[in-house]
Amino acid sequence: MCSPARRCFGCGLSNPPLPYIICIHMTTNSIQRHPVLEALFTSRARVEVLKLFFLRSSSRHYLREIAALTGQNLRAIQREVARLEDAGLIISNIEGNRKYYQANRASPVFRELRSLMIKTAGVADRMRSTLRQVSGSILVAFIFGSFAQGAETPESDIDLLIIGAISGRELSKELSPLKEELNRELNPIIMPVDELRSRLDREDPFLTSLMDGPKIFLVGDQDDLAALAVRIAPESP
């Protein structure tokens, strides 16, 4: 039985399980959405707070620090932080005379929202743009490891796997400004298709784990990766 503590304005149900997720009711006449979601991205201050916490999900900050880092008005930050905490997207704890906030990793939508922030806030787009500057052929490229898992720390590197035929020296040169901009080390692995298939055939532990793990695709998608991993059998004579 639902608790009356929180009520969904769209359906009248109390305590909906995912407070910010779309609460959709498809009838012949209307589609209604939860007002918390409707309001989620309408505020610039809210977007900046989400970017701050979900792009660096291990970071924690107090209100004045959040305002300084985002360049937003303190009053607006107070309002948006309160809303996001009420929605269960960020959590807080008090140390001394300061209250610190950080992303709520236990939220059922933490990974999805973080992935959305990475894509819409420009991290993935900047990487895509950088990869487009590199000559050669990139068939599939994606971020993997702690950053893709949402388990990174402020010191974590961003790991990239690039499948194709490109110059490592040129790639390093193009990634250098991005590394400075993101303030993180970037660790690209360039792998030809034949090597990918050969290592998968040998059940290489690293690649086997990588294929099953979370990824943020920069070039291609999961279907493209699966297609590359399939070795084409030679024709019969």
In the predicted model, what is the mean pLDDT of residues 73-90? 94
Query: Which pLDDT does position 121 carry in this prediction?
Result: 63
- Highest-pLDDT range among 13-22, 48-57, 90-99: 90-99
User: Which tops the pLDDT comparison, 57 or 41?
Assistant: 57
Mean pLDDT of all residues in the chain? 77
User: What pLDDT score does 178 carry?
Assistant: 81
**In the predicted model, what is the mean pLDDT of residues 164-193?**
87
Q: Where are the alpha helices (DSSP H) in 122-204?
A: 123-132, 146-149, 168-182, 193-201
CATH superfamily of the 123-229 domain: Beta Polymerase, domain 2 (3.30.460.10)
Q: What is the pLDDT of residue 12?
A: 37
CA atoms within a 13 Å half-sphere pointing along the CA-CB vector of 233: 3
pLDDT of residue 120: 61
Q: pLDDT grade, residue 114 (50/70/90)?
A: confident
Boundaries of every domain in the chain? 35-107, 123-229
What secondary structure letter does DSSP report for 235?
P
Strand (E) or helix (H) holding 102: strand 98-103
Give me the helix-helix angle, 123-132 and 110-120, nearest 10°.
50
**Size of the chain in residues:** 237
Split at pLDDT 50, 70, 90, the class of 122 is: low
**Exposure class string for 71-92: b at 16+ Cβ within 10 A, else e:** ebeeebbeebbebbeebbbbbe
CATH class of 35-107: mainly alpha
Among 90-104, 139-153, 202-216, name the most confident range.
90-104
pTM over 0.85: no
| Confidence category of residue 201, pLDDT binned at 50, 70, 90 | very high
CB-based contact 52:66 (threshold 8 Å): yes
